[in-house]
Amino acid sequence: MAVANQSLAGASPQSAPPSRYKWIALSNTTLGVLMVTINQSIVLIALPDVFRGIHLNPLDPGNTGYLLWMMMGFMVVTAVLVVMFGRLGDMFGRVRMYNLGFAVFSICSVMLSLTWMDGDAGAMWLIGWRIVQGIGGALLFANSTAILTDAFPVRQRGTALGINSIAAIAGSFLGLVIGGVLAPVDWKAIFLVSVPFGVFGTIWAYVKLKDNGVRRRARMDWWGNATFAVGLITLLVGITYGIQPYGTGVMGWGNPWVIAALGGGVLLLALFAWIETRVNEPLFRLSLFRSRAFLAGNVASLLTALGRGGLQFMLIIWLQGIWLPLHGYSFEETPLWAGIYMIPLTVGFLLSAPVSGWLSDRFGPRMFTVGGALVTAPASTP
């Protein structure tokens, strides 16, 4: 993420932390990132059971918005707020913001598991708390990498970040398996399973983690925050409703509201970029993109994340909605078996991420970054 790279660039430990502390920081941030990414995908694979549980048909035209926002609400909020929370971490303490994220995420897991309403009210309850839970996820994502950077010496950061990447990537696949197992038993369990880990992680982070980075006074870039948040939300909402039917068409790209949202979102993001070049303390320093390594790294991360996330999403829909039912599996069984069929992808990430981090510390990251992309592209082609 851009905010992670920004925090990495500005990290400057006040004093070298004890050698044991770095492993405490790594284990806690790994738990936090793993918990968040599991929750991102666990809902995706469990959606049929969730909607059956609240007695709502998500395929009815009037309920399509519930389906989309159940999937997208968490991720939209996380994407919008992660940059701002990274800046707040630099200003007020990364550990403080991280601890708050753990607490918010845990409370929302409890509230989601307590859902008692059905129909539209039940859907709105779930969507609302998923959005708030996304705030907790953004706080965790925005500050976990910076905490690791403060805790680890330069020669070991590749290994530490590689292990943290395992949590971020493997968690999205583990959530599919866990959701497939729990959802047919009790759909509320997909939220409840995070509670003990969240409570433990919150207490552990509060007691053991400490700020080793330099905290500096700064003014919040409110105009930059506002244009970035509203612009990105507007753009993502436009894309979300662009894939819904409109009129007689199967897609909504001709919908005047979608066109207005896409255009307005782009204009607001352009205004954000202009503001960032004019204020003394911008939310994001666009001058960082003058560095070829920074620019190329972020573009590569974006493209590989799009490819990985798109493949995961399409495989889940294809397995649950087409392939498994055609091969004799009942719809009640498809979440579990879709998760099982995704296990090979999980194993690949679990094996490669720590090895690549260890190798990048010794030989540099370029050859492994390029090599990984070259292997991924043909492997994703049917």
Mean pLDDT computed over 33-59: 85
> pLDDT by residue (tens digit) across 263-309?
999 999 999 999 988 888 887 788 888 888 888 878 887 887 777 77
pTM reported for the whole predicted model:
0.77
Please, are residues 41 and 179 in contact by the beta-carbon 8 Å criterion?
yes
The answer to whether the CB of 168 falls within 8 A of the CB of 133 is no
Q: What is the pLDDT of residue 217?
A: 65
State both tokens at 312: 């995961």
CA distance 224 to 79: 15
Residue 4, pLDDT > 80, answer no
Percentage of the chain modeled with pLDDT above 70:
89
User: How crowded is residue 332: how many other Cβ atoms within 10 Å of its Cβ?
Assistant: 12
Q: What is the pLDDT of residue 259?
A: 94
Tell me the chain's radius of gyration from C-alpha atoms: 21
Let me know: does 24 contact 93? Beta carbons within 8 Å.
no
Question: What's the pLDDT band for 128 if we cut at 50, 70, 90?
Answer: very high
The rounded Cα 220 to chain-centroid distance in angstroms is 24
The pLDDT of residue 214 is: 61
Q: Is 303 helix (H, G, I), strand (E, B) or coil?
A: helix
Res 10: pLDDT: 43
Q: Residues near 377 by Cβ (< 8 Å), separated by ≥ 6?
A: 307
User: Cα separation of 313 and 331, whole Å?
Assistant: 18
Lowest mean pLDDT among 11-15, 89-93, 140-144, 154-158: 11-15
How distant is the alpha carbon of residue 180 from its chain centre? 20
pLDDT of 95 strictly over 70: yes
* Residue 74 structure tokens: 């968490």
User: What is residue 127's predicted lDDT score, i.e. its pLDDT?
Assistant: 93
Decide if 235 contacts 265 (C-beta within 8 A).
Answer: yes
Q: Mean pLDDT across the chain, nearest whole number? A: 81
pLDDT value, residue 86 = 82
Query: Residues 186-190: what's their mean pLDDT?
Result: 90
Could you tell me which residues are beta bridge partners of residue 13? 213
Give alpha helix (H) positions in 152-221: 154-182, 189-192, 194-208
pLDDT tens digits along 321-332: 788 888 888 877
Mean pLDDT of 230-251: 83
Distance between CA atoms of residues 120 and 63, nearest Å: 8
Residue 94 and residue 213 in contact, taking contact as beta carbons nearer than 8 Å: yes
End-to-end CA distance of the chain: 29
pLDDT in tens, 163-181: 787 777 778 778 888 888 8
Which pLDDT band, with edges at 50, 70 and 90, does 16 fall under? very low
Q: Which residue has the tokens 């965790």?
A: 140
